Structures are given as structure tokens and as C-alpha cells.
Amino acid sequence: MRLFFKNTAVGTALLLMTAGTVWAQADAKSMYLDKCATCHGQDGMGKTAMGKKLKVVDVKTSSAKTSAADMEKVVANGNGHDMDAFGKDLSSDQIKAIVSYYRGLAK
């Protein structure tokens, strides 16, 4: 009987950890779509009207040339007049999640 409860507890813990990851990914996607997709596009290619106007670099190029840490700084602090700073609106964990989601679009 103890073995059943022990395995059930382990299974439940794994299920909750997996669900947490799925929820975090969904949250990062929704934040990206809300804050970033207007310029960077839903697919990260930057082919939106605003993206073309601002000459946004596509996700494959930017991910190859820019580290995740540097991208996080840009999201937090903005990029001149072209990109707003989100450091006051988003936590550092949220910014990391958005950058991770964005970089994942390159694959």
C-alpha cells in the first residue's frame, strides 16, 4: 500500500511540474503576442506593417547574433525610439520567458 501512495505522489508531482511548464509557455506566448507581435510578428519574422517600417530583424537572424541576456536587456530597457521598455511592466522572469519564447520561434 505504501508503494502505491509513494508512486502516486511522485506521479502527481511530475504532472504538476509538467503542467506548470505548459502554463508558463502559454503565458509567455500570450505576453509575446500582446507586447511584441505588433512589430515582430506572430512568427517572429518582423513582416508586419510596423515591423517593416522599423526594419525589424527576423528571429533567426537576431537569435544567431544576439544572446538571450542581451535580448532581455533590450526588452527591459527598450531600444532607442523604436522599441518601448517593458522593465517596469514585466518582471525579470516574465521578460526571460518572452525572450525564450521568441528565440524558440527560430526553430
pLDDT at site 18 = 46
pTM of the model: 0.75
Q: 38 CB contacts (<8 Å, ≥6 apart)?
A: 48, 50
CATH number for 31: 1.10.760.10
Instruction: Name 83's bridge partners.
Output: 79
Residue 9: per-residue pLDDT: 58
φ, ψ for residue 83, nearest 5 deg: -135, 130
CA distances from residue 95 to 18, 24, 55, 89 in whole angstroms, order as listed: 21, 12, 22, 10
Domain that holds residue 43: 2-104
Q: For each of the chain's 107 residues, which pLDDT tens digit applies?
A: 444 445 555 555 555 454 444 445 569 999 999 999 999 999 999 999 999 999 999 999 999 999 999 999 999 999 988 999 999 999 999 999 999 999 999 98
Sign of the torsion angle spanned by Cα atoms 85, 86, 88, 94: negative
Provide the number of structural domains found in the chain.
Answer: 1
